[in-house]
Structure 1
Amino acid sequence: MEAVVGLLLLTVCHGVETYCDGRQDGAQCYGALGEAMVLQLMDDASEIPRYEWKKGTSLILNGRRNSIITNTIGSRSTFTPDNGTFRISNLNRTDSGEYTLTLFNSDGQMTASRTLQLSVQAPVSSVQLVSECLSQGQMKVSCSSEGGDSPQYSWTLDGHTLTDTELLSGSKETNIITLKQHVSGRLVCSVRNHISSVSKEQIISVCRGVETYCDGRQDGAQCYGALGGAVVLQLMDDASEITRYEWKKGTSLIFNGRRNIIITNTTGNRSAFIPDNGTLKINDLRRTDSDEYTLTFFDSNGQETGSQTLKLSVEAPVSSVQLVSECLSQGQIWAFCSSEGGDSPQYSWTLDGHTLTDTELLSGSNETNIITLKQNVSGRLVCSVRNHISSVSKEQIISVCRDHSLLTCGLLSVAAVVSFVGIGVYFKWKKIKYEKAEESAAPRRTEKSEDSSVTELRSLPD
């Protein structure tokens, strides 16, 4: 795979004092964190009997004509009545907010009011631009910056905005793009926000994809090539010593020649045979290139003197490995490894540089993409995915998982105790309530009995 990283330009624009016209109601102003800004609040304060400027309900500034009565942030700000500008230095994030300017007449009556929204942002800086050739000749490019609030991205190639004919995925407003095959030139990524702008430039070359080599001089050789890439096949030592030769795919002639002269090449500009060293290079490999090939040699009389076969398999390379791990209920770790694309992927695992052992594995094996690690296993876990023409790996630091079964059991026990206590309290309450009801009912029955006796006595004759 061809390297294409070329660092040329870095431009950072920050540390500059910003200006904002806040004379219109609802104005939106932006300032750089740690820097200074000038807010135009009015034209000339000398014409205004009284004014005050607040952030929310907190008074910042008030004055009368050219006299400043109060400035609560006077240690890092100045107001110039003659031109109505308020300068704040060393901006911090707490300066962000809505500000209100209120104007009064000589009688103290409000004559006007307008608001201003101030947003303090960290400037973008230190842009990084990284490019990578993909298996089929495309180029993936990522652009990132250190710091910077609300960064926005834009791309140009040789001075013009990227077009759909150049972009395979992403857009000119995202920080990661993929360029189509055969795209080259001066690529510039610009990162900006409301108070800063940074750009990075890189000269990119055409990606050639994955190139593999195979020695096919032995009869029955097995060779592999990357889909979209190139393969170099060593067919013989030196064709200048061979009177005549031909190379076929199945029964279809690919090329033939006499010593150092190529007579026929049916693949056109996709392949080239170099007689001096006996190598055949095939570019832009396709799945239809997979097949059995036969090289046959002839003498000056046209008689066959020998032949050898070669098996070519074209595979898509593995890429973009994902590694996901999860703690299970009893403290084990479940890990899953997968890759985008890739024919016949094979997996292998290591922990802290050594192959996983039976003392660490609960289920799965070093050759499966899903494994379960035993309790108390931790360290640097690496999953490698490979096939015959590519290899990719992903690592993850794993920590010991806590056994949640004991916690669950404990919680269930606590719940059971709370339930029993609750039931006991309920029945105790019921008993007390019943006894109170009995006590309150007994006097009433006695009183009723005494009243009845009096009634009976009064009903007797004199």
Structure 2
Amino acid sequence: MEGVFGLLLMLLGVSQAVETFCDGRQDGALCYGALGGSVELQLMDNASEIPRYKWRKKTSVTKTYQMILTGQKNKVKKNTLRSRSVFIPNNGTFRINNLNSTDSGKYTLEIFDSNEHKNRSQILQLFIEAPVSSVQLVSECLPQGLIRASCLPEGGDSPQYSWTLDGHALADSELLSRDNGTNFIVLRQNISGRLSCSVKNHISHVSRDQIVSVCKEMKTYCDGRQDGAQCYGSLGATVVLHLMDSFLEIPKYEWRHQSLTIFKSRTNTIFSHSLQSRYLLMPSNGTFTIKNLMKADSGKYTLETFNSDGRKTGQRTLQLTVQAPVSSVQLVTECLSTLELKVSCPIVEGDSPQYSWTLDGNTLTDSELISGNNGTNIIILRQNVSGRLLCSVRNHVSLVSKGEFISPCKDTSQLRCGLMFAAAVLSCAGIGLYFKWKETKYKKMLITPQIEENPEDFQIIEQSNLADV
């Protein structure tokens, strides 16, 4: 009964798994199987015409050979994998179920004639890979209108990636990263359409599509008309600084970054000593724009104004801070031994991140939060806390969040004890049955000689009686 139950479990598991076929009749064949699935290997055309054959595997650790299959014509003499495999002599196929990583390796088939001479041998290399079960496609807008797309597979050994846009392979005019074989790409500006990511290995292939739209250029605005204004810009994006209502009525002015003069102007004529294509001054509305912001753009800016006689009439300073935006965030949960839930909120990138947490839309309270700090990237929740947990990460130029439903941690100690007790009971029952079987067998052995000896005893008595007569 136990064997039948185990066989049913094996068959149910295989029916849900991946099945592959490989022709291994050519020497040096490369075959692949899915972890937990089945592989059918054709080793020969027909074993019924072969006097003797044996199939063995070379172990990677000891470098010795392990015999797998031996046979003569239609008769299989030995199959060390018989619990999860079957060999069909009339078509020469060997099927292995419930594949595991130890099945990987080099297999050698040797065929002998009727005189026990080896006719030929052929090698087959089998690789067991975990299949790619699913994939997610995540896209986000970057500064300057770029799009970063990430292809996140679940499971899978040695994944290979490919991307298409509206059914065609991405061209250099669309792809900024110039690499179409990685799990993330960066698209150029003004790219839109149906983006598809495909992930495959030798035994699986999955894909995911998503419509991507043109990203608008990230731009921040800051009113710098007050002395000592604090302004922020996103790395790689654009910032517009409002310096004055208008420069048209000002005879002369000078705009500096630290000690470097950017603009000088007299009678609405601009003289620039460091003019770059990413700077733009609009005298009519008093704005100064910096495109493609860099960390070097951070610092103190000074605006000085003068009258027609060259006398300084005013001076204001502005502090600009350029920050990398928070691009993406994850939620990672872990049950502690005390049944408390540890939750971390890691980010991929971003300067000076600030964290906040909510549960079902409400700020976490001391009755829920054991660590007592709602502003860190790691928190510890008390026992029996459940609901939709949301982690928000922000800085002065970005805000991202990630939510997830959480459940109380379960106490598995009683379950483990129960399983251990059940295992102990089954072991004791097995030992008891074994000794009961041994006792029964021993009693039978004692009874059998008595039955054989009784006729001889009668025969001896009869002979002795005859002698007396």
Taking structure 1 as the reference length, the TM-score comes to: 0.53
The 3-state SS of whatever aligns with 1:167 is coil
Following superposition of structure 1 onto structure 2, how do residues 24-39 of structure 1 map, counting pairs within 5 Å?
none
Match of 1:242 among 239, 247, 250: 250
Aligned to 1:67: none
Match of 1:253 among 261, 264, 277: 261
SS at match of 2:143: coil
Q: Sequence identity, in percent?
A: 52
Deviation at 1:356, TM superposition (A): 0.7
- Select the residue among 223, 226, 234 that pairs with 1:218: 226
- Counterparts of 1:392 and 1:134, CA distance in 2: 13
Deviation by residue 1:131-173 (Cα, 9 ceiling, x = unmatched): 64213542135899xxxxxx9863369xx85334642448657
Aligned twin of 1:329:
337
> Are 1:319 and 1:342, in contact at CA under 8 Å, matched by a contact in 2?
yes
**How far did 1:176 drift?**
6.5
In structure 1, the residue matched to 2:81 is: none
Deviation string, structure 1 residues 256-301 (Cα, Å, up to 9, x no partner) = 2235443326232211111122111110001111111110011111
Q: Give the structure 1 partner of residue 389 of structure 2.
A: 381
| Partner in structure 1 of residue 359 of structure 2 | 351
Please state how far the C-alpha of 1:187 moved relative to its aligned partner: 4.7
Q: 1:155 aligns with which of 165, 172, 188?
A: 165
* Equivalence for 2:316: 308
Name which of 269, 272, 280 aligns with 2:277.
Answer: 269
Offset of residue 248 of structure 1: 0.4
**How far, CA to CA, are the matches of 1:405 and 1:359 in structure 2?**
25
Q: CA deviation at 1:191?
A: 9.1
Whether the aligned pair in 1 keeps the contact of 2:172 and 2:178 (CA below 8 Å) is no
Q: Aligned partners of 2:356, 2:235: CA distance in 1, in Å?
A: 23
CA contact (8 A) 1:261 1:275 kept: no
Measured after TM superposition, the shift of residue 408 of structure 1 is 4.7
TM-score, normalised with respect to structure 2? 0.52
Counterpart of 1:284 in structure 2 is 292
SS of the equivalent of 1:340 reads: coil
Distance 1:351 1:138, change over 3 A: same
Alpha-carbon spacing, 1:347–1:276, altered in 2? closer, same or farther (3 Å) = same
- Paired positions, count: 306
Residue 170 to residue 392, structure 1, CA distance change in 2 (3 Å): farther
Structure 1 unaligned regions, length at least 5: 1-99, 101-127, 145-150, 193-197, 437-462
RMSD value over aligned CA atoms? 4.9
* Conservation of the 8 A alpha-carbon contact between 1:154 and 1:173: no
Between 1 and 2, higher relative CO (CA 8 Å, sep ≥ 6) is seen in 1
Structure 2 unmatched runs, 5+: 1-90, 92-135, 153-160, 199-207, 444-469
> Match of 2:406, as an amino acid?
I
- Helix, strand or coil for the counterpart of 2:296? helix
> For the Cα contact (< 8 Å) 1:330–1:404, is it kept in 2?
no
Mapped partners of 2:323, 2:411: distance in 1:
44
Q: Separation in 1 of the partners of 2:327 and 2:197?
A: 28
Greater per-residue strand proportion = 1
**Deviation by residue 1:92-120 (Cα, 9 ceiling, x = unmatched):** xxxxxxxx9xxxxxxxxxxxxxxxxxxxx
Aligned counterparts, 1:85-164, within 5 A: 132-140=140-148, 154-155=164-165, 161-164=169-172
CA distance in 2, matches of 1:370, 1:200: 32
Taking the aligned partners of 2:209 and 2:390, their CA distance within structure 1 comes to 36
Tell me the secondary structure at the aligned position of residue 303 of structure 2.
strand
> 1:129 Cα shift?
10
Paired amino acid for 2:389: L
Q: Secondary structure at the match of 1:276?
A: coil
CA distance in 2, matches of 1:348, 1:383: 6
The superposition leaves residues 384-419 of structure 1 with CA deviations (integer Å, 9 ceiling, x where unpaired) of 011111010000011122123444566677789999
Distance 2:181 2:428 in 1: 63
2:305 maps to amino acid: F
Say if 1:358 and 1:236 are closer, same or farther in 2 by CA, change over 3 A. same
Shift in Å, 1:175? 9.2
Secondary structure in structure 2 of the residue aligned to 1:362: coil
SS in 2 for 1:320: coil
Counterpart of 2:322, as a letter, is V
Change (3 A) 1:365 1:237: same
Of structures 1 and 2, the larger Rg is shown by 1
Q: Measure how far apart 1:307 and its partner are.
A: 0.6
Look up the match of 1:297. 305
Structure 1 residue 184 corresponds to structure 2 residue 194: no
- SS, match of residue 240 in structure 1: coil
Counterpart residue type for residue 190 of structure 2: S
Task: Classify 1:188/1:326 alpha carbon distance in 2 versus 1 (closer, same or farther; 3 Å).
Answer: closer
Q: Deviations over 1:287-341 (max 9, x none)?
A: 1111111100111110111111111111100011111112223322111101111
